[in-house]
Structure 1
Amino acid sequence: MHKHFILLFFILCAIFVHAQSISKEEMAPKQDSIKKTEFLKHLGNGYLPTKYFNFDLRYLIKYNQYEGVRTGLGGITNNAFSEKYRINSYGVYGFRDHRFKYSIGGGFRLAKRTNTWINLSYTSDLEETGSSKFLTDKRFFQFFEPRLLNIDLFHKHVTKAITIEHQLTPKILTETKLAVSNTDPTYSYEYILNDNNAIKSFHLTTAKVSLQWSPFSQYESSRKRLVEIKKGYPKFTLQYTKSFDDLFKSDFSFSKLDFRTIYKIEGKHSNPSIITLVSGITNGNTPLTHLYHAYPNNINKETVMQRFSVAGLNSFETMYFNEFFSDKFATLQLKHFLKPFNISQRYKPQLVLITRYAIGDIKNPERHQNVTFGSLKKGYTESGFEINKLLFGFGLSLTYRYGAYHLPDFNDNVALKFTFNVSL
C-alpha cells in the first residue's frame, strides 16, 4: 500500500509539474493577466482561490503510517469576504484509523498598520510526537511532504486556543498563543511524575511566544500590507513555551526555549550555500510528546531498497524514526549547491553537497515508560549528496551515517532516496 501510494503520488506530481512547464510565450496575452498572476501566486502558496473562500490544498491528500491515506478539505475566507474578519476550517478522514479530524476557527483584525489579529480555534487532530514548530513560520506549502509518509508516532489532541499575530516592525513578526489541550498518545506510553503516578493521557495548559527577525530583508507596502520583496540573511527565530501546572487542570509544568537561524551565502552561478542551525531545551516534567526528535527520516526496514522513499528538505536521512529523543539538542546542516549542469536550455540538473550534525541529551529517561530510544550525547553525523531536477523535479539522494553512531552493518548506514524539488 505504501509503495503504491508513493508511485501514485509521483505520477500526480509529474503531471502537475508538466502542466506548470508551459512557457509564457505559449500563453496568449489577455486583459486579465493580473488576475492570472494573482491566481498563480495563491496556487503557489497552496490555495485554490474562489470569490469569497480560498481552498487549502494541504488537506486534499496525504499519507502516513498511522492514518494511511488522509484526505479532506479546508480553507479560509479571503478579503472579498471581509478585510476585518476571517473564518478558517478543515475536515479530514484517515482510512487506516477510521477517524475524522477537524478544526474550526476565526479571527478579527485589531490594527491594519501592524497587521494585528486575534484568532480563536478549536482543533481535534493528530500531531507528530517530538515535533517542534515555530508559530511565526510563514505558511510553507509543499505539494509533497516527504517525511509524512513514514511517520508512525502520533498523539491525539483536542486543543482550544487563542492567538495574537502582531507585526512589531517591518522586520520583526511576533505571535503569542494560549492553548488548553487534552493529549492522548496513540501508542503505549506512560510518564512517571514526581509522586510516582503513571499518566497515560494528560491535560496541558501552555503559553507560547514566538518572534521572527529578518534584519536584512527588504519590505514594501502592497495593497495595504507589508510584502517581503528581497530575502536577506541571516534570519532568526526565537520561541518560548511555558506549561502551567494546575491551571485549567494541567498535569505538567515545564518550559521550552527554541531557536533557529538560517544563513544563505549567494553564489555567482545559482550555487548558494545554506547553513541552518536549530536548537532547543526543555526544563521540568516534559512528556515524550513535547520533547525533540531531531528530524529523522529513515524507516526501520532491513535493506537499503526497502527503506527507499523520499528525502526531506531538512531531515536526517539515515536517522531512524523514534531512534533518539532529547530534552536538549542542536542540529547544524550545511548545504552547498554546485553550478547546475548546463546540458540543455531547459534541462539543468544540480548537484548539492550535504553534511548534517546533531547533538543532544535527556535527563531521567526512566520516566518515559513503554518506549525505547537513545541519546544523542555523542554527536550524530551524516553526509551525502543530492542530484536534483533530473526529471520533472525529481532527483536522487545518497547519504551515509558515520561517527559515534555508525552501525555495524554497512547497509544500515546508507540511505538512498528520491528527491522532489519544484515551485510554482
Structure 2
Amino acid sequence: MKQALSLLILFFSISLCAQTKVSGVVVDNFGIAVPYANVMFPGSTEGTITNEEGRFYLESDNTYTTLNISLLGYTTKEIQLDKKVNYGLEIELTEGEELDEVVLYSGKQPKKGNPAIAILKKIWAKKRQNGVYLFDQYKYDKYEKIEFDFNTIDSAFMNKKLFKGMEFIFDEVDTSNVTGKTYLPIFINESLAEVYGDNKLNEKIEKLKANKNSGFSTNQSIIAYVKDLYAEYNIYNNYIKLFNKSFVSPLSKTGVDVYNYVLSDSAFIDNKWCYNIIYYPRRKNEMTFKGNFWVNDTTFAVKDINMQASKSANVNWVKELYIEQEFEVLNDSVFLLKRDYLLSDFSLRKKEESKGLYGKRTTVYDNYVFNEEKAKSFYTKRIDPYNPVVYDRDSTFWEQNRLEKLNDDEKGVYKMLDTLKTVPKFKRLYDLATILVSGYVEFPKINFDYGPIYSSFGFNEAEGVRLRAGGRTYFGPNDPWRIEGYTAYGFRDQKFKYGISAKWLLDRKNRLIVEAGTRRDIEQLGVSLTSTNDVLGRSFASSAIFTAGSNNTLTDINLTTFGVGYEPVKNLRLRTGLTFRTLKSALPDDFNLDYVDPEAPGGIASQTKQFDIKMELDYTPGRKTIGYGVDRNDVNRNYARLFLLYTSGLKGFLESDFNYEKLQFYYRQPFQLGGLGRAITTVEAGKTFGEVPLGLLSPIPGNQTYFSIFNTFPNLNFYEFVTDTYVSGQLEHNFNGRLLARIPFLKKLNLREIVGIRGVWGEISDENIALSAPAGAILRAPTDKVYYEYSFGIANILKIIRIDFNFRGNYFKIPDARKFSVTGNLEFVF
C-alpha cells in the first residue's frame, strides 16, 4: 500500500511539471498497427511519429486539449484530451481521401522531384561550412552527464524480496520524457571539460576540469564500458557509430537509398525560417532511424533533429535508442551544437512490457570562443592524466559551473546511492556483479583480490585435470604498484606450477614502469607468431578441455623476465627487457625438443637454455584509456596496433645455448565499413638470423580447439608448419546481418554473416632443419606456395552463439591434414 501510494504521489507531482502527456497505439480498421503515423499537438511544432508497432509517446510543457493523428490515405483523426496525462490510448484510423494539409507519407517515396531530397543535397554541400568548421580555431566548454536507470518500475517490481531493506530507493523513481516509462537511477557520472581545436592543424584536445561519480564510482571497468558505449558522433557524417554498429545517418549521402524523405512543414524557429523533413526507413532490419529534423532555409544547417532507431535493427539487448540534438544560432550564418541527448533502453527482450535498463547521456556545449591560435605543442604535449583537484570539486563549484542544472530527482540520486552503498544486502549484490565483470573476488580488508576465477579449471594431456588458484594486490583501481601470482596443480603429472609478477609505476606522466616475474608451467607454445613477455599470460590452447586430435605438443617452460617500459608520447610504448628460459618437452614420448649438441652426452640435448635481450615498440593510435595506475582499462577497442619486436640471444651468458637475432612485425587494423559492416585484419612478418632449434623457431599458429580464435589457422595442427622466415595475413569481415536481413524467412532471426580468409608463406633453412633432426618430427614450411584457409560463419544465433565453417585451401597431402573444421564461440555483443 505504501509503494502504491508513493507511485500515486509520483505521478501527481509529474503531472504538475509536464502539462500534457499522452501515449498509445495507432491501428487501422482491422486492428493492425499503423507505423510512421504523424502525431501532433495542433497549432504547434511539437509532435512525434509512431514506431514500427504503431506506438507513440508525446510530452509537452504546454497544455493541449486535442491531439491530431494523420497519415496519407487515412482520414485525419482529432482526439480530445480530457486530462493532462493520457496513457494507453488506442486510436483507430480509417481509410479515406488524401487531405490538402501536410501529412506524413507511408511507403516508398520518389527520389526524383522530391523537394526533401533537394534540400538534403544542399545540406551535403554546406556540411563543412557549418558550426566549428567555419573557424580556424575554436574553444568551448562541455558538460556531460551519464546516467543508468532501472526502468518499467511498477508495484510488483518494488515488492520483490530482492529489495527488502532497500525500499527507500523507490523515493527516487522518475518518468522518462521520451518513453513515458518509470525508472530508478542507479548510476550517475558528471564531467566538465574545456575543448580546444584547430581546423588548420587538424588537432583537438580535451582538458578535464571536474569529474563526479556516484553509484559504481570506483569500478573503472564499468565506467570504461559506459564511455565506450557512448562514443561521440557527428550527425553530418555518413554513419553514426553506436554499440560498435554503423547506423546510416539521415543526413548521409547514402541516406536516399535507405530512407524515405518527406518535406512536412516550414516555420520560424528562433527567428529563423526552417523546413521540417520527416524520414523513415525504406526497409526493415537495417541500421536506420526514424524521426524528423528542422533545417535553415539559407545556411542549410540543422537546427533540431531527433532520431529513433528502427526496432527491427540488428542490435542485441537494445529495445529503444533515441537521439536528440539542438543547435543554437550564433549569428545569421553560424549554427553551433548546444545540447545532445541520447537514451538507450537495454533489455533481454524487445517486448514493450519487458523491464530493463536505461542508459542516458546528456551533453551540453557552451561558451564558444573562436580564432584564438595556439602552437601545435599545445595540442601534443603530455598532460598528467590525474589531478586530485579535478575529482574533488565541492558542491559549490558544481552549482556554479554546471551548464545544465540538476533537477530535484537527480539531486536526490547522489544521496540515495551513497546511502545504498551502506546497505549490506546491496553491497553483496554489487560484489557479485563486480566478480562477474572483473573475474576477481575482492577482499578489501587485506587489499587482495582472488582470481581470475575463470582460470580455475583446465585440462591438457600432460597435466590431466588442472586446478589453479591465484590473486593480486589491490588497494584501488589506480595502484602505482601491483603484485600478481598463482599456483596450479596437475593431477596426472602430480606437479605444482607457479607464477609471480610485479609491476611498479615510477613516473605517472610518462608511464615509466619497471616489471619482473618468473613462471614454471606447462604451456602450448606456437599459438601466436608474435609473443610478448607476459609472465602470467596463458594461451587458451594450453588448458582446452576438448581438442581436435591429440594435443601432445606441450612445453615445460621455466621463464624469468625483467623489463622497463616508457611512453614518451601518448600511445607509443617503448620497452627493453631481459628473459631467461629453459624449454623442454612436457611429453617426451610423444613430442620432444631435442637438438644436435656436440658438447652434450650422446651429442643430443633435450633442454634449451636461452638468455635474450628484447626491445619492443608498441604503437596504438586512437587508443583511449581510463585510470592512471600501473594497470589501466581501455575505453575503446577498435584502435589500430603496430608492434615491433627485436630479440637478440647471447650464447654463454648464464649458460645460454644460442647466438641469434630475430626481428618481428605485427600490425592489426579494424575497419568500420559503414553499412557493409566491420572488418579486422592483421599482417605479421618475421625473420630469425642464425641457427636455432625447434623451441626457438616460429611455428605457424594452429588451432586444435573447437573455439574460433582470431589470428590462428583452425585447420592447422600445432607445429604442422615451422618457419624461421614468415609473412602472414588474416582478414575477418562481419556484415552485421546486411545480407541475411533481406531473406524473408531469415530476417527475423537477426543472424549475422561472417567471412574470413587467412594465408601464410614461410621457409626454414636446411641448417635449422638439420639442427632439430633428432626431434623425430618433420619440419616443413609453406614455401612452395602460400598456405591459405577460408571460412564462412553465422553469428548471433540466439543472440550469443557463433559458428564458423573453416575450409583448408591447399597442402592436403600432409599426414593428418584437416581439410574442414567447425569452430564456435559464445559472444555477448551488441
Is TM > 0.5 for Structure 1 vs Structure 2? yes
1:115 to 511, 517, 535: 511
Contact 2:623–2:639 (CA under 8 A) maintained in structure 1: no
Q: What does residue 305 of structure 1 align with?
A: none
Contact 1:146–1:310 (CA under 8 A) maintained in structure 2: no
1:255 to 658, 661, 670: 661
**In structure 1, C-alpha distance between the alignment counterparts of 2:524 and 2:747, rounded to whole Å:** 42
**In structure 1, C-alpha distance between the alignment counterparts of 2:826 and 2:604, rounded to whole Å:** 43
Which one has a larger percent strand, Structure 1 or Structure 2? 1
Does residue 789 of structure 2 align to residue 382 of structure 1?
A: yes
The TM-score normalised by the length of structure 1 is 0.79
Alignment of 1:195-234 (within 5 A): 197-215=603-621, 217-219=622-624, 222=627, 228-231=634-637, 233-234=639-640
Does residue 482 of structure 2 align to residue 86 of structure 1?
A: yes
2:713 to 311, 316, 323: 316
Which structure exhibits the higher relative contact order, with contacts defined as CA atoms closer than 8 Å and separated by 6 or more residues?
Answer: 1
Q: What does residue 55 of structure 1 align with?
A: 450
Does residue 339 of structure 2 align to residue 339 of structure 1?
A: no
Provide Cα deviations, 1:215-240, integer angstroms capped at 9, x if missing partner: 3x054674578765445654211111
State the secondary structure of the residue aligned to 2:217. Answer: helix
Deviation at 1:371, TM superposition (A): 1.9
State the secondary structure of the residue aligned to 1:178. Answer: strand
For the pair shown, which has the larger CA radius of gyration, 1 or 2?
2
Deviation at 1:246, TM superposition (A): 0.3
Provide Cα deviations, 1:268-305, integer angstroms capped at 9, x if missing partner: 24811211112221121322122122211148xxxxxx
Q: What does residue 3 of structure 1 align with?
A: none
**In structure 1, C-alpha distance between the alignment counterparts of 2:729 and 2:625, rounded to whole Å:** 32
Q: What does residue 349 of structure 1 align with?
A: 751
Deviation at 1:382, TM superposition (A): 1.0
Letter of the structure 1 residue corresponding to residue 660 of structure 2:
F
Alignment of 1:40-79 (within 5 A): 44=437, 46-51=439-444, 52-57=447-452, 59-79=455-475
Query: Structure 1 residues 25, 384: CA separation in 2 closer, same or farther (over 3 Å shift)?
Result: same
Q: Which moved more, 1:123-132 or 1:233-242?
A: 123-132
Does residue 574 of structure 2 align to residue 391 of structure 1?
A: no
Does residue 754 of structure 2 align to residue 358 of structure 1?
A: no
Provide Cα deviations, 1:351-371, integer angstroms capped at 9, x if missing partner: 101111111111131221222
**In structure 1, C-alpha distance between the alignment counterparts of 2:796 and 2:557, rounded to whole Å:** 38
**In structure 2, C-alpha distance between the alignment counterparts of 1:229 and 1:270, rounded to whole Å:** 24
Q: What does residue 152 of structure 1 align with?
A: 552
Query: Structure 1 residues 269, 48: CA separation in 2 closer, same or farther (over 3 Å shift)?
Result: farther
Q: Which moved more, 1:241-250 or 1:59-68?
A: 59-68
What's the RMSD between the two structures over aligned residues?
A: 3.5
Provide Cα deviations, 1:45-69, integer angstroms capped at 9, x if missing partner: 5444442223332531223333233
Query: Structure 1 residues 256, 148: CA separation in 2 closer, same or farther (over 3 Å shift)?
Result: farther
Q: What does residue 419 of structure 1 align with?
A: 825
- Give ranges in structure 2 of 5+ residues lacking alignment: 1-148, 154-183, 187-213, 224-430
**In structure 2, C-alpha distance between the alignment counterparts of 1:34 and 1:228, rounded to whole Å:** 17
**In structure 1, C-alpha distance between the alignment counterparts of 2:440 and 2:686, rounded to whole Å:** 32
Q: What does residue 179 of structure 1 align with?
A: 579
Provide Cα deviations, 1:118-170, integer angstroms capped at 9, x if missing partner: 12222111232334444388x9999xx36752343122122222122322321
State the secondary structure of the residue aligned to 1:119. Answer: strand
State the secondary structure of the residue aligned to 1:296. Answer: coil
State the secondary structure of the residue aligned to 1:333. Answer: strand
Alignment of 1:128-143 (within 5 A): 128-131=524-527, 132-135=529-532
**In structure 1, C-alpha distance between the alignment counterparts of 2:724 and 2:152, rounded to whole Å:** 54
State the secondary structure of the residue aligned to 2:526. Answer: coil
**In structure 1, C-alpha distance between the alignment counterparts of 2:152 and 2:616, rounded to whole Å:** 45
Contact 1:386–1:419 (CA under 8 A) maintained in structure 2: no
Letter of the structure 2 residue corresponding to residue 165 of structure 1:
G
Contact 1:70–1:95 (CA under 8 A) maintained in structure 2: yes
2:703 to 279, 286, 297: 297
Contact 2:524–2:542 (CA under 8 A) maintained in structure 1: no
Q: Which moved more, 1:353-362 or 1:405-414?
A: 405-414
2:694 to 283, 288, 294: 288
Paired residue total: 388
Deviation at 1:110, TM superposition (A): 1.6
The TM-score normalised by the length of structure 2 is 0.43
**In structure 1, C-alpha distance between the alignment counterparts of 2:216 and 2:649, rounded to whole Å:** 50
Q: What does residue 564 of structure 2 align with?
A: 164
Letter of the structure 1 residue corresponding to residue 563 of structure 2:
T
Identity %: 19
2:650 to 240, 244, 260: 244
Query: Structure 1 residues 184, 366: CA separation in 2 closer, same or farther (over 3 Å shift)?
Result: same
Contact 1:136–1:212 (CA under 8 A) maintained in structure 2: no
